[in-house]
C-alpha cells in the first residue's frame, strides 16, 4: 500500500509516472494533496484515482509514504506516519541531517536505508547529481576535496518556477517588463546566486547542503567541499562543474574507467565532436551524464569533470522510488 503526499506537485507527479513506468508492485495507491486540489482525478494504470486532503489522524493507511509536500508538513506529520506503520521516504529538507534518519542514494549507500527507524531521507537534488559521479571515484581513489559550481534549472523551484521562466521570456522578447513572483530576480536571460538564505560564512543554504549531505552519505566527515550554486534560465536538469582531489593521483583514463562501469552514470565525453553533458539531453533521463573529464591543470593528479542530471527525476522522484524498490 503506497501513499504519495504532495501528489499534485512536480515531484509528486513524477513519482506517479515512475510507479507506473517501473511497474512498482502495489496493491493500493492513495494520493494526498492540498485542500484546493482534493477531489481532482488522475489516471493511473487505466484507473481514475482521486486526490484526497491530508488527514490529521497520522494514519495514511499505507506501508510506504512518499512525502513531497514541503518541509513544514513533513516536520509536522512524518513521525506520525512512521509510527502508524509506514516507511516514509521524505523528499524534503526536514530530516536529511537528523542522526535518526539515513540519507540515501541507492547506487551509493543502499545498505543505510535498511537501518531506518521509520523515515528515510532523499538528499537534495544537487547533492544526488554530484555524488552519482563523485561516489564511484571516492570508492576507487578516496575523495578528499572538491570545488563545485552548479547551474540549477528553474524546475528546482517546482512547476511555478518553470511557468515564471516561460512568462518572463515571452515578456522580454515582446519588449515588456518581466514580472517576478517565484524568484527574487528576473530569471529570463539572466542567472543569479541560488535563491536560498546566505549564512554568516557567506555560503547559502544550497551550498551547505552539498557539503553536509555529501559527508553524511559518503560517511566522510573530513570531506572538504566548497560550492557555488547558481540558478540559470534552464527549464529542467541541473549541471555541475566539479574539480576533485583524491588520496592518490588520478588520471582522466582512470576516472573514465571507473565512471564507465558505475551504475546510473552515462559517459558523454567526446572532445573530437565537442559533445559533453547538457541539460537538454539529460532531461527525462534516469542516468546522470558525466563528461569533460580532464586533468585539473591547477593541481596535477586531480580531475575536472562536468555532470548534468534531471533533478526532478534522478534528483528527486526516481531516487525516492529506487529507495522504495529496496523493500519491494
Q: Which residues are designated catalytic?
A: 125, 238
Distance of alpha carbon 328 from alpha carbon 24, whole angstroms: 8
Distance of alpha carbon 144 from alpha carbon 142, whole angstroms: 6
Place of cell 542522526: 99
Distance of alpha carbon 212 from alpha carbon 96, whole angstroms: 9
User: What is the widest separation between alpha-carbon atoms in the chain?
Assistant: 60
**Grid coordinates representing 37?**
486540489
- Label the pairing between strands 41-44 and 29-33: unpaired
* DSSP H or E segment with residue 4: strand 2-5
**Grid coordinates representing 127?**
547533492
Place of cell 528515510: 120
Distance of alpha carbon 192 from alpha carbon 116, whole angstroms: 37
Residues forming beta bridges with residue 152, ordered by sequence position: 231
Alpha-helix runs per DSSP H in the chain: 10-21, 71-83, 106-113, 125-141, 159-173, 205-218, 252-260, 279-282, 318-325
* DSSP H or E segment with residue 240: strand 238-246
Amino acid at each position: 500500500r503506497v501513499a504519495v503526499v504532495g501528489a499534485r506537485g512536480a515531484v509528486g507527479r513524477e513519482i506517479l509516472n515512475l510507479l507506473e513506468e517501473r511497474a512498482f508492485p502495489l496493491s493500493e495507491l492513495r494520493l494526498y494533496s492540498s485542500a484546493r486540489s482534493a477531489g481532482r482525478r488522475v489516471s493511473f494504470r487505466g484507473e481514475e484515482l482521486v486526490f484526497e486532503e491530508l488527514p490529521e489522524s497520522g494514519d495514511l493507511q499505507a506501508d510506504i509514504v512518499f512525502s513531497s509536500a514541503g518541509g513544514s508538513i513533513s516536520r509536522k506529520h512524518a513521525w506520525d506516519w512512521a509510527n502508524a506503520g509506514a516507511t516514509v521516504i521524505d523528499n524534503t529538507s526536514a530530516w536529511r541531517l537528523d542522526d535518526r534518519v539515513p540519507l540515501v542514494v541507492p547506487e551509493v549507500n543502499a545498505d543505510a536505508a535498511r537501518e531506518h527507524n521509520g523515515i528515510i531521507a532523499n538528499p537534495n537534488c544537487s547533492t544526488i547529481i554530484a555524488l552519482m559521479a563523485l561516489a564511484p571515484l571516492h570508492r576507487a581513489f578516496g575523495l578528499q576535496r572538491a570545488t563545485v559550481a552548479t547551474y540549477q534549472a528553474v524546475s528546482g523551484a517546482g512547476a511555478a518556477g518553470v511557468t515564471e521562466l516561460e512568462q518572463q521570456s515571452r515578456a522580454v522578447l515582446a519588449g515588456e517588463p518581466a514580472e517576478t513572483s517565484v524568484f527574487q530576480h528576473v530569471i529570463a536571460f539572466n542567472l543569479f546566486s541560488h535563491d536560498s538564505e546566505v549564512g554568516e560564512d557567506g555560503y547559502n543554504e544550497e551550498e551547505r547542503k552539498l557539503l553536509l549531505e555529501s559527508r553524511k552519505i559518503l560517511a566522510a566527515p573530513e570531506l572538504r567541499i566548497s560550492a557555488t550554486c547558481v540558478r540559470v534560465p534552464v527549464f529542467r536538469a541541473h549541471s555541475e562543474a566539479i574539480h576533485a582531489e583524491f588520496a592518490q593521483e588520478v588520471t582522466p583514463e582512470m576516472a573514465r574507467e571507473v565512471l564507465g562501469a558505475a551504475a546510473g552514470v552515462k559517459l558523454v565525453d567526446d572532445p573530437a565532436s565537442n559533445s559533453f553533458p547538457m541539460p537538454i539531453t539529460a532531461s527525462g533521463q534516469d542516468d546522470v551524464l558525466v563528461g569533460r573529464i580532464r586533468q585539473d591543470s591547477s593541481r596535477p593528479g586531480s580531475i575536472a569533470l562536468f555532470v548534468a542530471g534531471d533533478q526532478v527525476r534522478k534528483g528527486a522522484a526516481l531516487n525516492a522510488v529506487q529507495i522504495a524498490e529496496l523493500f519491494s
